[in-house]
Amino acid sequence: MTDVTHYLQAYDDQLRTDAETPSALSVAVLGPLRLVTFAGGRGFITYRDLAGSGNIAALVADALAHFRADPAVTGVEWKTRGHDRAPGLHEALVANGFVPGEPESIMVGPLAGLCRNAPVPAGVVLRTVTADADVRAMSAMADEAFGESVNTRAADALLARLARRDGMELWVAETGGRMVGAGRLEPVPGTGFAGLWGGATLAEFRGRGIYRALTAARARSAMALGKTLAHSDSTEFSRPVLERSGLVKVSTTTPYEWTR
């Protein structure tokens, strides 16, 4: 069994369950789908696979109707994976108002590899944040790094999760007292996995090893909790860094977004 096959099987078996959404406020089951509601008015649709699920177009319409019925939900993400067999899914999603985003690489591999050759750059301080002001500053900085407008609801959702103590860690990199990089660590309960999410570095500070150092810090924290494998949905900015640290691309994922 190749590394890619082994890691993809572990990803499907261990992560495409309730373990994928530990911070959910509620989960409803619709056939093979899990309809998840998060804090901040965010809906999320995921599943183990759609093989033999019948009328996919009807499944999409029924799933969206579930979220439309909740006025607090302002947006829904349907998370697709490139290795799934789901004929007609793209067409059904688009017909129901979902807009496909950019595909990302699903990266999986040993956490230990992320800790090697990742020194903290001179003048940079790494730390976790939990205070209200720090979390809001981190969220605003990440929005800037991704070229998006500041989303205060995202910060509210992060603070709500910290209050629930679901295991999430928020890490930032600072230089000269300014936050310039950030990322989340999501240990997955009941599995050997930890997720690396939200990696962001301000454009003028890229190429200095800050992202790599933040990744290593999160990996070390996950290993201290007994985790052995990392998983991450990576853009083309972060994929090469993770590949050099031993993670491999096992598939792709494309988010489809619906906005009320």
Please spell the DSSP secondary structure of 122-173, one letter per residue: TTEEEEE--SHHHHHHHHHHHHHHTT----HHHHHHHHHHHHHT-S-EEEEE
CB 175 within 8 A of CB 141: no
DSSP run (H or E) holding 37:
strand 33-38
90-100 tens-digit pLDDT: 999 999 999 99
Pick the CATH number of 112-227 from 3.40.630.30, 3.20.20.70, 3.30.565.10, 3.40.50.300: 3.40.630.30
**3-class state of residue 20 by DSSP:** helix
- Tell me the average pLDDT of the chain: 93
How do the domains of the chain map onto residue ranges? 3-105, 112-227
74-132 tens-digit pLDDT: 999 999 999 998 889 999 999 999 999 999 999 999 999 999 989 999 999 999 999 99
230-246 tens-digit pLDDT: 999 998 888 988 999 99
Cβ density class 15-54: b for 16+ within 10 Å, e for less = bbeeebebbbeeeeeeeebbbbbbbbbbbbbbbeebeeee
pLDDT band at 1 (very low <50, low <70, confident <90, very high): low
pTM summary value: 0.89
Task: Check residue 93 and give its pLDDT.
Answer: 98
Report the C-alpha gap between 146 and 181 in whole angstroms. 11
Structure token pair of residue 195: 């997720």
Structure token pair of residue 127: 């730390």
Neighbours of 1 (CB within 10 A): 7
CA torsion sign for 44, 46, 50, 54 is: negative
Report the C-alpha gap between 80 and 88 in whole angstroms. 12
Closest CA to 184 of 197, 200, 167, 194: 197
Checking if the pLDDT of 54 tops 80, the result is no
Rounded to the nearest 5°, which phi and psi values hold at 182? -160, 165
**For the chain, what is the largest distance between any 2 Cα atoms, rounded to a whole number of angstroms?**
57
Distances (CA, A) of 173 to 21, 32, 160, 239: 26, 40, 22, 20
